[in-house]
Amino acid sequence: MPSTTPTRDQHFQTHADYGEGVRNNAKRGIELNERNGNKCATQTGKVRAQQLANGEGVSLATVKRMHSYLSRAETYYDNADSSSDCGYISYLLWGGKAALGWSRNKLRELGELNEG
């Protein structure tokens, strides 16, 4: 059974193997948010978008937060009336569906996803 406690190395390791889909979604979210007066998302979401758009590595804790947020907020993206909806924009800022799949797979790979 995989450990639920991250190893010392996992705490300091960063992950940037999320691919162009995640980067492009974050860039699109930034663009849409700027067109919308930059009013959507928290500061954390805006910072996350910049990290992802720039291809920066993210920590295991951040991968967990991404998976948690994207899993919960998928409905806001799926049910948005338009691309100017803040739920839609915020979801893209966190990397969108591409990031949901990547974070799920990364957590599985690291033995950190409890699908019990």
Q: pTM of the full predicted structure?
A: 0.88
Residue ranges making up the domain that contains 98: 19-109
41: in domain:
yes
- Phi, psi dihedrals of residue 54, rounded to the nearest 5°: -90, 0
The domain tally of the chain equals 1
In whole angstroms, how far apart are CA 86 and each of 21, 74, 92? Answer: 20, 13, 10
8: in domain:
no
Residue with tokens 């067109």: 35
Check pLDDT > 80 for residue 70.
Answer: yes
103: in domain:
yes
pLDDT bin (cut points 50, 70, 90) of residue 7 is low
14: in domain:
no
31: in domain:
yes
Taking only the tens place, the pLDDT of each residue in 11-49 is 679 999 999 999 999 999 999 999 999 999 999 999 999
Q: Is the dihedral of CA 64, 69, 72, 76 positive or negative?
A: negative
Residue 38's contacts (CB-CB under 8 Å, 6 or more residues apart) are: 46
Mean pLDDT, residues 38-63: 96
116: in domain:
no
Taking only the tens place, the pLDDT of each residue in 89-115 is 999 999 999 999 999 999 999 999 987
Q: Which residue has the higher pLDDT, 115 or 85?
A: 85
13: in domain:
no
9: in domain:
no
